Amino acid sequence: MRACLDLKESILPPGSRELGAAYRDLAEAHAAVLDFKQALPFCHKALQLHESTLGSNSVEVAHDRRLLGVIYTGLEQHEQALEQNEMSQKVMKSWGAAGPELLHAEIDAANIKIALGKFDEAVSVLKNVAKQVEKDSDMRALVFISMAKALANQEKVGDTKRCLEIACNILEKKELAAPDKVAEAYVEVSSLYEMVNEFDKAISLLKRSLEMLERIPQAQHMEGNVAARIGWLLLLIGKVSEAVPYLEDAVERMKDSFGPKHYGVGYVYNNLGAAYMEMDRPQSAAQMFAFAKEVMDVSLGPHHSDTIEACQSLANAYSAMGSYAMAMEFQKRVVDSWRNHGPDAKDELKEAIRLYNQIKKKALASLSPEDRATALPEPQEQEQDSDSAKAARQ
């Protein structure tokens, strides 16, 4: 799609509607794989082109603004998302539009309000939409999913479950007609069951979603995310041996879809490491944590809190192996990283120092009486080998 856009930019006039559509198509493609940062500039280009050529009240501009709202939501910039959504609805209403596009925009608005903590406003919007949709329509299912989200955030567990049951009953009837939409909806429903501690139900829906996605070639990018979620939930409820195959599968699927350095791959490696630690396999865990850290160093940066936690996990794994020198090296990196965060991370720094001293104590206890008199060497700040190469060698 990017190559096609480059070609169109070279041959089409600057104000071409076809070029505007190409910008929006590419923005939608990036948003579909949750790459919202890449989606944002292309959506802005589409909006600017359509506004300059068709006017600010055109249907194309309304579509651009609705997509921009979705992208801002993905970036967790909810105020901007709501602003774009409201502007989109205003244009659609000025054209007398009252069909699915407007109703979808209203559901989007309710979801944004939920993210902003405006639960009562969201429920009011959703009740209004519910009056306008058919009883067994997929849009009615979306309304009840969003309603459940608002109720779950208000800790109204019983009402949340009732809304989810209604949504699932509708979705079951749509599995053959719209498997991609239903599979995606099941993922969201499962996350809400997770919020109300119905983990078995959440896992069951995710497995159902994965089975459906595996039959849809264009949904390959979602398969890895769903498999990773199943693995994480199984790990959470203590079914570690069941979790590992899903996590291993998720790593390969996500690498194929997003590339080996995507941040999502790093999180799955981290969960795999945690699973191996639970299974008393610290060597395997160390290698997974090392992979996680390498990915996060690139995708999130070495000073991100999740990257530091991966380094902490690596230190813990080496300590469990009895490789205290390596454990101290990585624990020192953790200490240095939290120290660089300043006063805001004083609690994390205190805990990191405590763990460093604990590892040092274990290391000294493992030495012979003659060697204890000699201080352990301070770990070096940098090494020539990558962390994963060290883990593999260990």
SS3 82: helix
Q: What is the mean pLDDT of residues 323-331?
A: 95
Q: What is the percent of the chain where pLDDT is above 70?
A: 92
Looking at the predicted structure, is the pLDDT value of residue 384 above 50?
no
Identify the residue with better confidence: 383 or 38.
38
Looking at the predicted structure, is the pLDDT value of residue 319 above 80?
yes
- C-beta of residue 251 within 8 angstroms of C-beta of residue 243: no
Q: Which of 72, 97, 122 is the last residue of a domain?
A: 97
Looking at the predicted structure, is the pLDDT value of residue 334 above 90?
yes
Q: In the chain, how many domains are there?
A: 2
Q: What is the mean pLDDT of residues 84-105?
A: 86
pLDDT digits (tens, 9 = 90+) for 266-281: 999 999 999 999 999 9
SS3 39: helix
Q: Which residues, in sequence order, are CB contacts of 156 under 8 Å at separation 6+?
A: none
Q: Is residue 232 part of a domain?
A: no
Among the residue ranges 216-225, 269-278, 328-337, 365-374, the one predicted with the least confidence is: 365-374
Mean per-residue pLDDT of the chain = 90
- 390-393 contacts, C-beta under 8 A, 24 or more apart: 390/290, 390/326, 391/283, 391/286, 391/287, 391/289, 391/290, 391/291, 391/314, 392/287, 392/290
The Cα angle at residue 373 between residues 369 and 374, in degrees rounded to 5: 120
* 14 burial via Cβ count (<10 Å: 0-12, 13-18, 19+): exposed
Give the domain CATH number at 5. Answer: 1.25.40.10
Q: What is the mean pLDDT of residues 72-99?
A: 89
Q: What is the mean pLDDT of residues 284-298?
A: 97
How many CB atoms are closer than 10 A to CB 112? 25
Structural element, H or E, at residue 193: helix 179-195
Looking at the predicted structure, is the pLDDT value of residue 129 above 90?
yes
- Look at residues 258, 253, 231 and name the one whose alpha carbon lies nearest to residue 242: 231
Q: What is the percent of the chain where pLDDT is above 90?
A: 76
Q: Is residue 252 part of a domain?
A: no
Residue 112 carries which side chain, given as an amino acid letter? I
Q: Which of 97, 116, 149 is the last residue of a domain?
A: 97
pTM score, two decimals?
A: 0.83
Q: Is residue 113 part of a domain?
A: no
Q: Is residue 28 part of a domain?
A: yes
DSSP state of 301: -
Q: How far apart are the C-alpha atoms of 234 and 327, rounded to whole Å?
A: 28
Q: Is residue 380 part of a domain?
A: yes
Cα separation values, 375 from 325, 363, 367, 379, Å: 12, 11, 11, 12
* Domain span including residue 303: 293-394
| pLDDT on residue 379 | 46
Among the residue ranges 95-104, 156-165, 222-231, 326-335, the one predicted with the least confidence is: 95-104
Q: Is residue 88 part of a domain?
A: yes
Q: Is residue 328 part of a domain?
A: yes
Task: Please give the structure tokens belonging to residue 150.
Answer: 């608002």
| pLDDT on residue 302 | 93
Q: Which residues, in sequence order, are CB contacts of 124 under 8 Å at separation 6+?
A: none
How many CB atoms are closer than 10 A to CB 239? 14
Identify the residue with better confidence: 383 or 390.
390
Looking at the predicted structure, is the pLDDT value of residue 73 above 80?
yes
Q: What is the mean pLDDT of residues 76-87?
A: 95
Q: Is residue 316 part of a domain?
A: yes
